[in-house]
A = this chain, B = another copy of it.
């Protein structure tokens, strides 16, 4: 089984995109900063899949990224196609943590591992907030599917 197939099996949300030439820096590798944009692309797709944007309109509770990390195993170069997997690690009342794996098609392996901690925030009250019940249900349904 290819690294891509394993990723699609293990992660409920996978975003596929091309590495573009401008993602590289003067070392002719994809710049470290760009991986956090890749993670963001995965995270936002995860949010879209659980319907958070609609839930946010109804409840005023949206996401705040409290922390994020990347561990770089291998360098990416242009041209390549990558698959950004995102899945739940832990779900609490007012926060949840996610994990990202980025697979390179050219290298057929996971090149970078990332994580993120997302906290509920009520824009109306300007304060941290419990995750809405509809959101928790959507996360559980999405993760159960994989």
A102 CA to B21 CA, complexed, in Å:
18
For window 48-100 of chain A, which residues contact chain B by CB distance below 8 Å? Answer: 48, 64-72, 78-79
Task: Give the distance to chain B from A111, nearest Cβ to Cβ, in Å.
Answer: 13
A18 CA to B40 CA, complexed, in Å:
13
B79 contacts A72, C-beta separation under 8 Å: no
Instruction: Count chain A residues whose beta carbon lies closer than 8 angstroms to a beta carbon of B.
Output: 29
Given known contacts A25-B25, A26-B28, A33-B33, is B69 in contact with A40 (CB within 8 Å)? Answer: no
A8 CA to B64 CA, complexed, in Å:
29
A18 contacts B20, C-beta separation under 8 Å: no
Task: Give the distance to chain B from A89, nearest Cβ to Cβ, in Å.
Answer: 15
- The interface residues of chain B lying within 8 Å CB-to-CB of A70 are 67-69
| Minimum CB distance partner of A73 in chain B | B66
Q: Which of B21, B26, B48, B69 contacts A68 (CB 8 A)?
A: B69
- The interface residues of chain B lying within 8 Å CB-to-CB of A17 are 17-18
A66 CA to B28 CA, complexed, in Å:
16
- The interface residues of chain B lying within 8 Å CB-to-CB of A48 are 79
A65 contacts B69, C-beta separation under 8 Å: no
- The interface residues of chain B lying within 8 Å CB-to-CB of A20 are 37, 40-41, 44
